[in-house]
Structure 1
């Protein structure tokens, strides 16, 4: 079994070496605790009328895994050296478990992105109509399967095993895996957003100047004025793109700027921190917008099942195309200048 090198491996693991002693378990405990609180806060802040989908189930499972890791760290930190089921646990296992979780999280970005994309496409095309209970079981089974598959890959990969085994010799060091998947996925999303904004920046500025905050069906929304020259199907991508950009950036602009800073400064964030629920919901909103924009020619805008997002209200993009007399039926709340 050979050591890890860039010459004999088809892919390269990026390990962020830190001279972090295992006595710093309190800091690791606080970091994971803060991440769990952030995940729970994000779940509480989401809109409650969202339908069941793969991303929702995976976000809940991620919170459970983080909580399980926190409990393990707490137990080992408290007892320090004990035997359970014939296995001796010491403070070294805190680093080992966190490393395994980091590798597992680091390899989950692409599979979760792909499965969520397929899930939204199938829901949009309505090719599969499963009963509600069967759909819940299917999502639950898919989430369990993806966790087991990635964990089995991490534990069975020789190079990962060798890197974990080497830390048993140099126990004063506790390196954590830096995921290249999250970097390239973030780079891809930022580039797509930049290209979309560049191609329609004039329309975006015009809509921002003309849009208003109004009330529709007892819900506060952004109202984009309807153009008399537009139609229900012709050039609908051109019509919807600036509206999608405004709705997306209006919700996720701070997170987009954070991703730009991370990319420009090449900040190395351990995978056990980087895989979090705010990041997943950010990717989720991007996927919803992408799927509906590419398939907008299939939409019957007069009888549309609007996309449901835990944070972004995509209804604002479609209401002007569905109801032209909204100004007469609903009284505007305010005007944005």
Structure 2
């Protein structure tokens, strides 16, 4: 898709304002998880890029000298295209690492680890992901900047790729959540007949699993139903999300809640949830509290 540079700058500016607002909203706990640390790094990268390309585009001479290099409006399109490629490359790795982080936290596999150690590890992994994404874009991918043959001092619009990774990640996780709900429902349906003595425990566990799954899905949908509707519209309508806007903190907040729901429903033992032994990761949008579940005998 071809987008004018003023529209790109407006989109980047809006993204930065939204990122700053969300970081401020979650400041008390945003650095306590991998997604929080990565969100801060993303806000910093977006802000630096926005200020740089805005200065470059608005400069009267059409160019600036930085570290001995002559940078022109040509480089605005180049930098935005590079950012879009890196955002596309980071979507799945961020989702996988965040899912692993949530699993270890919910199941208390890393309970002895201190908060400071966790922050240092998250900071290191975040830096490593940015480095690997840059390495992939510049050395391993088939990325070729598209400048439409315009002379570098007269560039007024840029060719921008769109992202599909958001839909891929969300569809995969939503299907996993649906499969967990179907499995929980089928487990109780198969045990609806009066159980024998040695089956009473299995039936109680099945009902507990169903209640946990249904409550988790209800908590998630109560907050993010409108966002899911927006994703559905993007899937159905012939529109695309520019790649440089695809990886944003609003999307990471949604991903955080969705991963928590998936881990609680599909991975975490129901006994840890019902007995309050599961350590739910920080979430500023969903309140992950479960009602007391009565065992069925």
Q: Which residue of 2 aligns with 1:175?
A: 159
Contact 2:85 2:137 in 1 (8 A): yes
Q: Which residue of 2 aligns with 1:185?
A: 169
User: In the TM superposition, what is the alpha-carbon distance from 1:252 to its structure 2 partner?
Assistant: 0.4
Q: Which residue of 2 aligns with 1:103?
A: 85
Q: Aligned pair 1:119/2:101, yes or no?
A: yes
User: In the TM superposition, what is the alpha-carbon distance from 1:179 to its structure 2 partner?
Assistant: 2.3
Q: Which residue among 192, 211, 217 is the counterpart of 1:245? A: 217
Contact 2:213 2:264 in 1 (8 A): no
Q: Which residue among 23, 26, 47 is the counterpart of 1:43? A: 23
Q: 1 CA distance for matches of 2:54 and 2:81?
A: 16
Would the alpha carbon gap of residues 242 and 305 (structure 1) be closer, same or farther in structure 2, given more than 3 Å must change? closer
Would the alpha carbon gap of residues 94 and 254 (structure 1) be closer, same or farther in structure 2, given more than 3 Å must change? same
Q: Aligned pair 1:156/2:133, yes or no?
A: no
Q: 2 CA distance for matches of 1:190 and 1:59?
A: 22
Q: Which residue of 1 aligns with 2:72?
A: 90
Q: Which residue of 2 aligns with 1:67?
A: 47
Which secondary structure does the structure 1 equivalent of 2:161 belong to? strand
User: In the TM superposition, what is the alpha-carbon distance from 1:46 to its structure 2 partner?
Assistant: 4.0
Q: 2 CA distance for matches of 1:50 and 1:234?
A: 35
Name the structure with the higher helix share.
Answer: 2
Which secondary structure does the structure 1 equivalent of 2:113 belong to? coil
**Deviations along 1:225-253, whole A, 9 cap, x unmatched?**
xxxx9987443221112211211111001
Aligned Cα root-mean-square deviation (Å): 2.8
Q: Which residue of 1 aligns with 2:277?
A: 304
Q: Which residue of 1 aligns with 2:245?
A: 273
Would the alpha carbon gap of residues 282 and 232 (structure 1) be closer, same or farther in structure 2, given more than 3 Å must change? farther
Q: 1 CA distance for matches of 2:133 and 2:161?
A: 15
TM-score w.r.t. the length of structure 2 is 0.81
Would the alpha carbon gap of residues 122 and 194 (structure 1) be closer, same or farther in structure 2, given more than 3 Å must change? closer
Would the alpha carbon gap of residues 273 and 126 (structure 1) be closer, same or farther in structure 2, given more than 3 Å must change? same
Q: 1 CA distance for matches of 2:276 and 2:171?
A: 36
Which secondary structure does the structure 2 equivalent of 1:107 belong to? helix
Unaligned runs of 5+ in 2: 186-200
Q: 1 CA distance for matches of 2:21 and 2:56?
A: 27
Q: 2 CA distance for matches of 1:133 and 1:99?
A: 36
Unaligned runs of 5+ in 1: 1-15, 202-228, 323-337
Which secondary structure does the structure 2 equivalent of 1:108 belong to? helix
TM-score w.r.t. the length of structure 1 is 0.72
1:250-269 alignment runs, 5 A limit: 250-269=222-241
Q: 2 CA distance for matches of 1:289 and 1:183?
A: 18
User: In the TM superposition, what is the alpha-carbon distance from 1:40 to its structure 2 partner?
Assistant: 2.1
Would the alpha carbon gap of residues 192 and 47 (structure 1) be closer, same or farther in structure 2, given more than 3 Å must change? farther
Contact 1:302 1:321 in 2 (8 A): no
| Count of residues paired in the alignment | 270
